[in-house]
Amino acid sequence: MSAPPVGPAPPPGHHTRQWWLRPLSASPLLRGADRVEALVRLLAYLAVVAAVPFACAAGTLVYVDDAARIVAEHATRVPVSAQLISEPGTVEPYHYEAQVRWQDERGEHEATARVPRTAGRGDTVLLWVDQRGAFVPSPRAPEAAAIGGIGAAVLVLLAVAAASAGVVGAVRWTLDRKRIAGWEAEWREFAH
C-alpha cells in the first residue's frame, strides 16, 4: 500500500515539471541563459521528431534499391554442384581454392574456385555462376533488403539525434562558461 501524498494537492489544471514550457515561464528566478538553454533543448527534441519521416523515406529508398538488386541477383545467378578435382590450397589466410568440375546445359566446365576449408578432393560443393559461367557470390536473401532499409532509417535518425545532442551540448557548455564568468564577477564585486 502506498503512502498518501505529503503536502497540499496541486491546484486543478496544474501540471508539474513541464520543462518544455520553461522558456515561456514568467518566473523572475529563471535567467535568460536558462531560457535559451531550454529553448535549444526543445528545438533539438523537435528536430529529432521531425527527422522521423525523413529517416523512414531514406529507409524506404534503400529497401527499394536493395530489393531490385536482389531480384536481379536471383535472376542472373545459377547454383551449380561442382566436384573438387584437386585438393584445396591456401591462397591467403582463410581463403582456399581448388580445381572444380561441373556440368550445365552448355556442357562440362573446369575452373579454379574458392571452396570451404573442410572440402577435399572428390567432394561436391555448391557454387554460383553468372550467365557467362563466371563464379559469383551467392545471391542475397530477400530479407537483406529489409535489414538494409531499417539500418538506413535508424542511421539517419541516430545522425540527427547525435547532431542535436552536439548542438545542445555546445550551447550548454557556452552558457555554463557565461554563467561561471558572471558568478566570478559577482563574487569579486561582493568581496570588495
Assess whether 68 and 43 both reside in one domain: yes
Question: Is the same domain home to 132 and 145?
Answer: no
- Is the backbone of residue 15 left (phi > 0), alpha (psi -120 to 50) or beta? beta
Residues 82 and 125 in one domain: yes
Q: Is residue 50 part of a domain?
A: yes
Shared-domain flag, residues 152 and 117: no
**Residue 185 covered by a domain:** no
Asked if residue 100 belongs to a domain, the reply is: yes
pTM of the model: 0.68
13 part of a folded domain: no
> Buried b vs exposed e over 34-68: b needs ≥16 C-beta within 10 Å?
bebbbebbbbbeeebeebeeebeebbeebbeebbe
Domain that holds residue 152: 34-75+141-172
Q: What is the pLDDT of residues 95-148, one digit of tens each?
A: 888 888 888 878 888 888 888 888 888 888 888 888 887 888 889 999 999 999
**Residue 127: inside a domain:** yes
Q: pLDDT, tens digit, for every residue of 65-90? A: 999 999 999 999 988 888 888 888 87
